[in-house]
Each structure stands twice: as structure tokens, then as C-alpha cells.
Structure 1
Amino acid sequence: MSAAPVAVEKVYSPWIWLVVVLPYVTLPLLFTFDLPGYLRGLDVSDPDASVQLQLQLFTSPALLLLSLSGWVLGAAVVLFSWLDWRWLVRAGVPQPFHWAFGFFSLLGYPVYAIGRAVVTRRRTGRGMAVLWVVIALFALSLVVSIVWAATLVLALVGTLPFS
């Protein structure tokens, strides 16, 4: 049997919204990465050119920016998870979802945001907006990723010699 919800005036800190939104900030950067351009330059008959092209691909500024920003934003999500947890404790939420689950954001999973929404709802009777925003952003990222993948497949098919 669970205890009755505690009356807390506010359950949404600015930190939780940063935790929810930051992982998706890099999504538009996918389209700055010119993989079709690299595919057009690929010459399968020349192994040296192929190796050089692969090196160019993995050292491209767009890919480096995407990777680096992903790690920096992941670390920021961990920090903001801690700040949100601390804010919830100060707001009087009993036993809020622990901030260390924010480390899962480095793997791409919004565990802290989902767990925080569920636990805050159980403790206070409020706080599910976080979960719905996470679901909406995840669905949006899925659609954007499918469009990006389809674009890459079409570009790859366009580079194949049909003779």
C-alpha cells in the first residue's frame, strides 16, 4: 500500500526541461553530414582512394561536431539531472528518483526523465508532463531519423552503377 501523495507546490524545475530537451538538440546536425557526397566520391576500383575517402569521412567537421556535441550534451544532462534532483529535494518531494540514472543519457536512454516523472507522480500526484514531452520528442526523433536514413539509402542507390 502506498502513502498518500504529498502536497508540493511545484514539481517542474527548469533543470528537468533541459534534461528532456538537450538530447535532441543535435538531431538537426544529422543533416549537416554529407554522406551522399562522400558516397559519390567513392571509387571501388582504387583501394587507396577508398581508404583516403574513409579517413575524410571520419574526420569531417560535421561528424566531429556531432560526436563531440553529443558527449558534451550528455554530460550536461547528467549535471542537470543532479540539479533537478536537488531542486526536488528542496521542494519537499520525498525520495525523488535518483539523479545518477542520468548517466544512462550517455547511452541515449532518457531513464532519468521517465523515472522522475513516474516517481514524482507517485509521490505528489503530479509531474507526468515530463513523460509526455519525452514520448513526443522520441517520436519526433524517430521520424527525423527515418527520413535521414531514407535519404541516405536513396543517395547510396543513386551512386550504384547500373549497366
Structure 2
Amino acid sequence: MGPAELGPPVQQPLPEGTPVYTASLWAIVFLPLLATAVLLSMPLRLFPADFDPTAEPFVPPVDLSGLVRNLLSVAIYAASVGLAFADRRALERAGYVRPFHWAWSFLSPPVYIVGRSIIVQRRIGRGLTPIWVWLGVAVIGLVATLSRTAELFSSVLG
């Protein structure tokens, strides 16, 4: 193996119009909005309506809305990993040399979004838009979560 083979992959110039973004990537970016929509649509309570801490024997309440949120989180995570795999394959078919590996999405979808965008930017000079869009989606989710938390505390305290 010569020294030239140890360096970074050499990206050959891609034809004008080569896609920078894929539907799979945009799905990864926007999937958190699904979780935000579910959070905003589900009732948020500290305890279920039928909770009675004085009942004998005490049976801990079952929080179905929490179960739904947790299952949705796992589904979004799994979908993001699959979509990252599809995104990498699409980039390889478009002519990108060794694009960011899809397995980084196991750490978290944002790791894949950022890494993939930076690699594409370095290879062809554009492609950072998904990072900024994902940041906007994350801010929307944060604001929604904070507003629901404030609503919960005000109902408990007020």
C-alpha cells in the first residue's frame, strides 16, 4: 500500500446537477417534528386520571401516553438509521466517494446529519443546509417541550 492510498478519498468532479440532498436525508431531518406533534396532541398529566394513592393494595398507575411517546422515540430512531443507510447508498450511486458512513446514525440522527453534511460540503462545496434546518426543527421541539412542561407545572401549582 503506497502513501497515496493512505490519504483521504479523492472526489472526482461531479457533473453539474448532481444531487446534494436526498429524500432520505430530509426525512431524518424532519422526523423529530412527528414526535413534537405527538407531544402537543397528547394529554399531559402528572398522574393518570384514575390515580388513587390511598387504594389498598396500591397499584402503580399505567401511563399509556408515556408508553406511546417512548415507542415513538424508538421508532423514529430506528427509521433514522434505516434512512441514513438509504441516504448513503443514494450518495454512492450519485458518484460520491466514500460518503459519511450511515452507522454513525446509531449514535444519534444529528450526528449523521452533521457529519454527512460536512463531508459533502468538503467534497463538492455545498450541502450544509440540513444542519441549519435540523437546528430549526430542534428549536421547535425545545420550545414545544418547554411550553408543555410549563403548562404541566402551572396546572399542578395553580
Shorter-chain TM range is 0.7 to 0.9
Structure 1 unmatched runs, 5+? 159-163
Over 3 Å counting, the alpha-carbon distance change for 1:75 and 1:4 in structure 2 is: closer
Contact 1:114–1:134 (CA under 8 A) maintained in structure 2: no
Distance 2:157 2:96 in 1: 55
When structure 1 is superposed on structure 2, of 23-32 and 82-91 the one drifting more is 23-32
Give per-residue Cα distances to partners, 1:61-96, cap 9 Å, x unaligned: x22221112111211110000000011111111221
Superposition pairs for residues 1-163 of structure 1, below 5 Å? 6-8=13-15, 9-31=18-40, 32-36=42-46, 38=47, 46=54, 48=56, 51-52=58-59, 54-57=60-63, 60=64, 62-105=65-108, 110-158=110-158
Give SS of 1:78's match: helix
Structure 1 moving runs of 4+ over 6 Å? 2-5
Name the structure where helix makes up a greater proportion of residues: 1
- TM-score, structure 2 as length reference: 0.80
Structure 2 unmatched runs, 5+? 1-7
Contact 1:23–1:74 (CA under 8 A) maintained in structure 2: no
Q: Which amino acid aligns with 1:11?
A: V
Q: CA RMSD in A?
A: 2.6
Contact 1:33–1:63 (CA under 8 A) maintained in structure 2: no
Residue identity (%): 29
Over 3 Å counting, the alpha-carbon distance change for 1:87 and 1:41 in structure 2 is: same
Over 3 Å counting, the alpha-carbon distance change for 1:103 and 1:48 in structure 2 is: farther
Contact 2:25–2:84 (CA under 8 A) maintained in structure 1: yes
Q: How many correspondences in the alignment?
A: 148
- TM-score, structure 1 as length reference: 0.78
Contact 2:11–2:96 (CA under 8 A) maintained in structure 1: no
